[in-house]
Each structure stands twice: as C-alpha cells, then as structure tokens.
Structure 1
Amino acid sequence: MYDPVRLAALVAVAEAGSITRAAGRLGYTPPALSQQLAKLEREAGTALLVRHHRGARLTGAGEVLVARARRVLDELERARHELARLTGLSGGTLRLGTFQTAGIHLLPPVLSAFRREHPDVELSVTDYEPPAGVAAVAAGEIDLALTHTYQPAPAVPLPSSVGAEPVLVEELVLVTAPGHALTSGTSRLPLADLAGQPLISMAPGHPARQGVEAALARAGATPSVLVATPGYVLVCALVSAGLGVGVVPEMVARTAATPVGVRLLEPGELRRTISVVHRTDGTAPAADAFRALLRGAFGRARHT
C-alpha cells in the first residue's frame, strides 16, 4: 500500500515541476523530499520521475500514479474533515516545543502533514533546549515537546504527569575536515583510533553530552575547543575549518551546512534518542493526532 505522504510528495513535484520548489511548499528540505520519492519509487517498482537540470518531470508510470493519487488524496481529505468534526479537531490550538535539530529536520514535514489533515487547529512552536521542554509539558505550558537523551548517560526520571515516546534513535558519528585521514575509510572506525585527536567538545556546558564525552576521554580524545552552547552548527563549522574532530548525531553530520567528512564509529554504542514528551493525565485529540503522525513518519526509521 502506498504511503499517502509520499503520494502527496509526488503530486507536489508534478505540480511544481521541481523537487526544490515542491520541498518548499511542503516544508521539507530537498534531500528529505528526495528520500520520500525514492521510497515511493521502490514501492512502485519503477521510476516515477526523470530529473533534469531544470527540475523534474513525470515518467509514464508517474503520470498514472499521480492521476490515481489525486483521487486518493481528495477522498482522504474529505474523510479527515469529517473525522475532525467528530473528534474535536475542528479548532483549538496545538502547542509544540522543540530543540533546534528536530525543529529544522524532523518537525516541518510532520507539521505540514498535520496542517493538511487539521487545517482549523492553530499551531504554536516554541524553542526549548532539552530537557526544558519536559518541564514545560509538565507545567502545562505546551502540549508536546521533542526532546533528546544521549547514551551512555545516567537515566533521568520524568515527572509523574508526563510520558516519553521514542521517535528516532541515531548513532553519533565522527566528523572531520574534508579529506581527513580518519574519515577516508569505509569501515567503522574503532573509538581507540581517536586517541590524541583534538576534539571539538560540547561539554561541560551540555550536561546531556557528559556521558558521551567521558567515553571519548577514555578513548584518548583530547579536548581542543569547548563549545559551551548547544550548537552543532558551530561544532561542524569548527571541524570543517580543521580545528579538530567532532562526534555528533548522524542527522547533524549528514545535513551539516559546512563540508565535513563523516565516518561511523566502532562500537556503535554512542547514540541519541529523540522522543516526544506528552502529558498522561487526560485526552488531547490534537496532541494524540500529532503523535500518530510522528510515529508514521519516523517509526520505520528507528534503529537499535
């Protein structure tokens, strides 16, 4: 069965004539939209688009699928409006909290899907550096918060009024300046090979990272530059400039604004878990609907 989100992506490209323009309309980054389209082509078992220097056009198979997709999406839209009236999602506000990486790379496509399904719900998004979003949900300031934890690290108990649902688990990977010898290989790099390497470090100003950086210190990585604020954009920029190496979440590395080399580490035990935090005392239809969209969008992307 074809994923309606991917069908909508194909229709958007057909209408825009370009993956870049379609991504802008849908709230995706172009690489993220390209991934959705590639998955749809695998599901269809054939090419649906032909990319060219001016954009993209449908193949014959793509034209067939787009025609059917428009009908399917129209019917789904009618069903969504009818269900929204029944479930109380025809108005109100959904208040979301997020941290920077999730706000840039995870939240936009899910928010776009939520907006399409529930256009009458007012959306509010506030930046909370973890774990501040957990406290904001517990205090009733927001309905949901995207937050993160790192491994290895001691478990931090949640307030009794909230629960956390994992959305995505990603490895931490090595980033270096382009062409660096440590990222020239294709196999996993043993953590011990970081011994003596100057490390662009996010501790001590990033408590969630302290367990990870303790593991790096045991491997012999030597702190070179401390980035006290939680800014992976700055870490990658300093790494790109050759001031040291870094260990960052894979999503950060693959979408870095500055050019970096990337390599998986061995063993793959340094990880970040992104979760959605919600209140457990009561029914919130808009929050429940948003969590369901998160599960649909990223459930298959989890890895352990």
Structure 2
Amino acid sequence: MYDPTRLAALVAVAEAGSITRAATRLGYTAPALSQQLAKLERETGATLLVRHHRGARLTAAGELLAVRARRVLGELDLARHELAQLAGLSGGRLRVGTFTTAGIHLLPPVLSAFRRAHPDVELVVADYEPPDGVTAVAAGEADLALTHSYEPAPTAPPPSGVAAERLLVEELVLVTAPGHALAGGSERLRLADLAGQPLISSAPTHPPRQGVEAALAAAGATPAVVCESPGYALVCALVSAGLGVAVVPEMVAAMATTPVGSRALADAGLRRTISVVHRTGERSPAADTLRALLRGAFGRAAGTGRGGGTG
C-alpha cells in the first residue's frame, strides 16, 4: 500500500509544477520532499516525474497515479469527517476567527463542508487581523483562528495554553502594473533588481510585514506610496494604476481583483505562513473536526484555486 503522505507529495508537485514550490506549500524542504518522491517511485517501480530547468512534470505513470491519489486522499478526508460524526457533534457553537484573505477565498468551502456534515452546530465567524486572532483564542473569545506570519520577521511564540498548527507556506512575489518591464521575464528576479523601483509599502508599521519591508529597503527599493492599511486589495489597486510595484503573497497576486503582472523572486526567504491556532488542554470535537478539514483543504488550495485579495 502506498503511503498517503507520498501520494500527497506527488499531487502537490503535479499542481505546483515544481518540487521546490510544492515543498514550500507543504512545509517541507525540497530535499525532504524529493526523498518522499524517490521512495514512492521505488514503491511503484516506475518513473513518476521528470525534472527540467523550470521545475518538474509528471510522466504518464505519474499522471495516472496522481489521478488515483486525489481520489484516495479525498476518501481519507471523508473518512475523517464521518468518524467525527460519531463523536456526537450535534448542537453547540463553534467560533472561528480569520483574517480577510483566508476568510474570503479559503475558509468558505471548508465551512460549507463542515455545515453539510454537522448542520446542528452553530457557526460564528469573526475577522481578526493577525496577530489579534491568537489573542482572541487565548482569551476564549474564539475556539480557533486562522492567522499568518511573515519571513523574515520575528515571530512571537503563542501564549501559554495556545498551540499553532502550520497549514500552508507560500512565497512572496512581485506584482506590477500590466506590461511592466519587470513582469516580463521568466527567470526569478533578484531583490537587488528592485533598486530604485517605486514601492507600494504595505503597512510598514504592521508587525508581520516589518521584516519584509526591511529586506526590500536593504535591496534599495524606494517607497513611493505608504499604504497604512494591511489590506492587499488596496495595494494591488495602487500597483495596477502604475503608482509602483509591491511584494505580496502569491495567492494575493493570483486572485487580485485588479489587473496586475507578477514575477517570482529569487530565494530571498520572503514567505508567508498561514496557521490555525487553538487552545490546548480542552476537548472540542467541533474544533478538532474543522482543523482536520482545514488541513486537507489548505493543502489542495495551495496548488489550485489559490485565494487572495486582502489581509
């Protein structure tokens, strides 16, 4: 029997088109993910993917297995949901905190699946700009919350009694007005190439962004517009209007509501991690079930319908 973790790795590469990008989204290092894929190839006795200068593509055998793997992983998710039903999830209230990006583009299908399985549980959703969701969980105002952190930036450990579970790691990318010279290349752009570029500075006083802003300043990017709001919809709108360039999470670039060009950056350690936080030491079948749904949904969302917009 094939290891579900290795099947998930194959599906991630199929969707991301690159071992490096797939590893980032799954929270692995690229060598560790390559080892998982090599073990899967040994188990199957077939070559499942071919590496090339722009990433990796699946062979015919890899495509065949990926189709079956998606079905297997979906069935395992369904089994987790059905087992949760046996835990007696009937009635009660589940309070969920989220930031805007996840709340608009990633959380709704998860809540929809939860509601179908557990229609008697009342859902309450509140918007918390990170790190406020962590505070809300610690204070008992929310049962769990989606939050994010950025690299490079110092990340405070969660308060006592609160645990954070990483769901998704995504790269930050450059966004520009359509047709901008920097958006045209296929190779990754060095941060040094942003020297002198007018920059839409995304909430530089916001703690999760401070490390990113410092890295851009060190590379010589010149602030042109300081956008005090942490909302990315406004940042992308200013970029689309030609007022400057910006560095945003790749899901924001992929689903921007205004036309923008985008380009991957050379590895400068600029990433955003999305996590779910919850209280430890107390049993909540509803919260546990939603966390299981989030684990499955965020892994797939990383390579397909990536969200974006704000927050």
| Range class of TM-score, shorter chain | 0.7 to 0.9
Q: CA deviation at 1:300?
A: 5.5
How many residues are aligned here? 237
CA distance, structure 1, for counterparts of residue 241 and residue 65 of structure 2 = 38
The match for 1:219 is: 219
Q: CA deviation at 1:101?
A: 0.4
Question: CA separation of 1:170/1:83 partners in 2, compared to 1, >3 Å: closer, same or farther?
Answer: closer
Task: Report the 3-state secondary structure (helix = DSSP H, G, I; strand = E; otherwise coil) of the residue aligned with 1:235.
Answer: helix
Q: Aligned AA for 1:43?
A: V
Runs of 4 or more above 4 Å deviation: 39-42, 300-303
The match for 2:284 is: 284
CA distance, structure 2, for counterparts of residue 83 and residue 137 of structure 1 = 22
Question: Mapping of 1:1-304 within 5 angstroms?
Answer: 43=67, 80=82, 84=85, 86-299=86-299
CA distance, structure 2, for counterparts of residue 287 and residue 137 of structure 1 = 12
Q: CA deviation at 1:111?
A: 0.8
CA distance, structure 1, for counterparts of residue 115 and residue 284 of structure 2 = 17
Q: CA deviation at 1:208?
A: 1.0
CA distance, structure 1, for counterparts of residue 208 and residue 280 of structure 2 = 24
Question: CA separation of 1:199/1:40 partners in 2, compared to 1, >3 Å: closer, same or farther?
Answer: farther
Kept in 1: contact 2:191–2:268 (CA 8 A): no
Higher Cα Rg: structure 1 or 2? 1
Runs of at least 5 residues in structure 2 that lack an aligned partner in the other structure: 5-62, 304-311
Kept in 1: contact 2:84–2:289 (CA 8 A): no
Kept in 1: contact 2:204–2:213 (CA 8 A): no
Give per-residue Cα distances to partners, 1:7-52, cap 9 Å, x unaligned. Answer: xxxxxxxxxxxxxxxxxxxxxxxxxxxxxxxx9996169xxxxxxx
Q: CA deviation at 1:298?
A: 2.0
Task: Report the 3-state secondary structure (helix = DSSP H, G, I; strand = E; otherwise coil) of the residue aligned with 2:262.
Answer: strand
TM (normalized to structure 1)? 0.73
CA distance, structure 2, for counterparts of residue 83 and residue 147 of structure 1 = 24
Runs of at least 5 residues in structure 1 that lack an aligned partner in the other structure: 4-38, 46-64
Question: CA separation of 1:287/1:180 partners in 2, compared to 1, >3 Å: closer, same or farther?
Answer: same
Kept in 2: contact 1:194–1:220 (CA 8 A): yes
CA distance, structure 1, for counterparts of residue 139 and residue 179 of structure 2 = 48
Q: CA deviation at 1:109?
A: 1.1
Q: CA deviation at 1:299?
A: 3.2
Q: Aligned AA for 1:138?
A: A
Q: Aligned AA for 2:67?
A: E
Task: Report the 3-state secondary structure (helix = DSSP H, G, I; strand = E; otherwise coil) of the residue aligned with 1:273.
Answer: strand
CA distance, structure 1, for counterparts of residue 156 and residue 237 of structure 2 = 31
Question: CA separation of 1:41/1:118 partners in 2, compared to 1, >3 Å: closer, same or farther?
Answer: farther
Q: Which has the higher contact order (CA 8 A, sep 6+)?
A: 2
Kept in 2: contact 1:133–1:145 (CA 8 A): yes
CA distance, structure 2, for counterparts of residue 119 and residue 270 of structure 1 = 40
Percent of pairs with identical residues? 71
Cα RMSD after superposing both structures: 2.6
